[in-house]
Amino acid sequence: MESQKFLAENSASVYIKKVEARINEEIERVLHCLDKTTEEPIVKVVERELISKHMKTILFSRVPNGLKTMCECMSSYLREQGKALVSEEGEVKNPVDYIQGLLDLKSRFDRFLLESFNNDRLFKQTIAGDFEYFLNLNSRSPEFMQEKDVFERYYKQHLARRLLTNKSVSDDSEKNMISKLKCVTVLWFCCHRFYLAKHSGRQLTLQHHMGSADLNATFYGPIKKEDGSEVGVGGAQVTGSNTRKHILQVSTFQMTILMLFNNREKSMFEEIQQETDIPERELVRALQSLACGKPTQRVLTKEPKSKEIENGHVFTVNDQFTSKLHRVKIQTVAAKQGETDPERKETRQKVDDDRKHEIEAAIVRIMKSRKKMQHNVLVAEVSGIECMNIEVFRGTSGCTSEYFINVTQQLRSRFLPSPVVIKKRIEGLIEREYLARTPEDRKVYTYVA
């Protein structure tokens, strides 16, 4: 109580002198009244109560720009740590380690913010800005990304893939992630009722290749001929002693491949491809999961024994397949690349198409409110760029007024459109007669009701 009262009434320099005097008083008191061994613990108590508990206040709060100076030092350190993590991302083979490193760094500085910086607003804004800076070097977290709509597109694709292939950890985890994304991303305008009214009763097309199947499989084990030699599934009589039955949970492509071996002993890669007509990329993944996956899931054998699959490679049934489980789920090998170049271009094209509509909608909303605007002012407001003291034409009165454009309005919460793209969308709206140029100045647009 004494320290708080004295600190509130005096400057930091006066308080430090007071603390020094107090420590000297306690040392003198120990020399004259107490045992020498009590000096150290008493001094520690005084230092803790008078110095440690008020260290931030003494060092920075009462010094002009003191917190700002400390914040700049912290920001420099955080950016170095963040850039080091992002630059090492390419070297880390396990993406879980990369994400965990970012989460640990975030938790660490959140703890600093609460325990060391008293949840100060300046430090909070600086930490968020620094994470946005180095995460945009390699976008991984939607909260700090500039192009949130691109992340949204990819997240939808991966979520659909997990749900269709039953690789989701749990429904609760997916719902929890979606709830968090709602908090950090902006939900764009939807036309739910319009869609249901226009497309009610639509018929769904079954995507056979995304399905799954349960196969009853029987493995006979090594078969012995009369001469004592062992063969695969050749026409020798089976005693039944080594027969093992399992239920295989497989994808549609895997089922199609396995069904070929009901009436043959072996098959070459090109023969399987010709008879099943499965796309080569998907066929390779399916065969790798059946012949090159975990030992407890290898229901086929392959010659030569390698993980690569090429023309001329031969596949046969693994008669020696064993598993402790009666129901065996064959996991599909993950694709080596998340997207091929054509797929990546297609995704980007879809994002660009969606952006066209969003930009045009933003332009129409602004012009419907302003009625008349200069080109540069319109581009600035659509982009969400900070502008001040800009002249805006109001209605037909011909007068002008000054206003401030909000930094966080319109499209900036999702992505930052370029002026060139905005100009093209304005021209498109003019062609469709949503906007018009004024006769006296072609750089001024009016809204056509």
Pairing outcome for strands 300-303 and 223-224: unpaired
Peptide bond into 304 cis (omega under 30): yes
Q: Is residue 204 part of a domain?
A: no
**In this structure, what DSSP letter does residue 332 have?**
P
25 occurs within a structural domain: yes
56 and 101 housed in the same domain: no
Domain interval for residue 265: 210-329
Which residues neighbour 298 within 8 Å (Cβ) at sequence distance 6 or greater? Answer: 290, 291, 292, 318, 321
Segment 311-325 shows an average pLDDT of: 87
Assess whether 191 and 248 both reside in one domain: no
The predicted-structure confidence for 360-387, as pLDDT tens digits, reads as follows 888 888 888 888 888 888 888 776 543 3
CA distance 253 to 309: 16
Q: Which of 145, 162, 183 is the last residue of a domain?
A: 145
Taking the C-alpha atoms of residue 290 and residue 307, their distance in angstroms, rounded to an integer, is 11
Residue range 328-356: mean pLDDT, rounded: 76
Q: How confident is the model at residue 390 (pLDDT cuts 50, 70, 90)?
A: very low
Are residue 270 and residue 249 in the same domain, yes or no? Answer: yes
Over 70: is that where the pLDDT of 253 sits?
yes
Q: What is the pTM assigned to this prediction?
A: 0.43
Tokens representing 342 are 């054509």
CATH number of the domain where residue 54 is located: 1.20.1310.10
Residue with tokens 């703890």: 111
- 42 and 13 both lie in a single domain: yes
Inside any domain, residue 334: no
Residue 240 lies inside a defined structural domain of this protein: yes
Domain count, the chain: 5
254, 330 Cβ separation under 8 angstroms: yes
Q: Given pLDDT bands bounded at 50, 70 and 90, which one contains residue 219?
A: confident
* Together in a domain, 96 and 138: yes
336 domain residue, yes or no: no
Chosen domain end from 329, 363, 383: 329
Cα distance between residue 126 and residue 279, in whole Å = 50
- Picking from 317, 347, 318, 335, the residue whose alpha carbon sits closest to that of residue 280 is 335
| Sequence-ordered list of residues with C-beta below 8 angstroms from that of 266, at least 6 positions apart, any chain | 314, 315, 316
Contact 273, 283 (CB under 8 A): yes
Please give the average per-residue pLDDT across 206-227, as a whole number.
73
Give the CA distances from residue 114 to residues 29, 121, 367, 395, in Å, rounded to whole numbers and listed in that order: 38, 11, 44, 50
Nearest Cα residue to 175 out of 164, 192, 159: 159
Residues 389 and 426 in one domain: yes
Q: Please state the rounded mean pLDDT for residues 299-323.
A: 86
Residue at 335 is within a domain: no
Q: Is residue 384 part of a domain?
A: yes
Residue 406 lies in a domain: yes
Residue 88 and residue 53 share a domain: no
Whether residues 312 and 279 fall in one domain: yes
Q: What is the pLDDT of residue 232?
A: 44
Q: Are residues 161 and 269 in the same domain?
A: no
Structure tokens at 30: 């120990």
CATH code for the domain in which residue 429 is found: 1.10.10.10
> Which residues are CB-contacts of 161 (< 8 A; sequence separation ≥ 6)?
167
- Are both 140 and 159 inside the same structural domain? no
* Residues 127 and 170 occupy one common structural domain: no
| % the chain with pLDDT above 90 | 0
Same domain, yes or no: 348 and 387: yes
Only one residue has tokens 């914040």, namely 71
pLDDT score for 322: 83
CA distance 157 to 165: 12
Average pLDDT value over all residues in the chain: 75
Tell me the residue type at 63.
Answer: V
CATH code of residue 265: 3.30.230.130
For the stretch 78-136, pLDDT in tens is: 888 888 887 765 555 566 777 788 888 888 888 888 877 778 888 888 888 888 777 77
Tell which of 26, 42, 61 closes a domain.
Answer: 61
Confidence class for position 332, pLDDT limits 50, 70, 90: confident
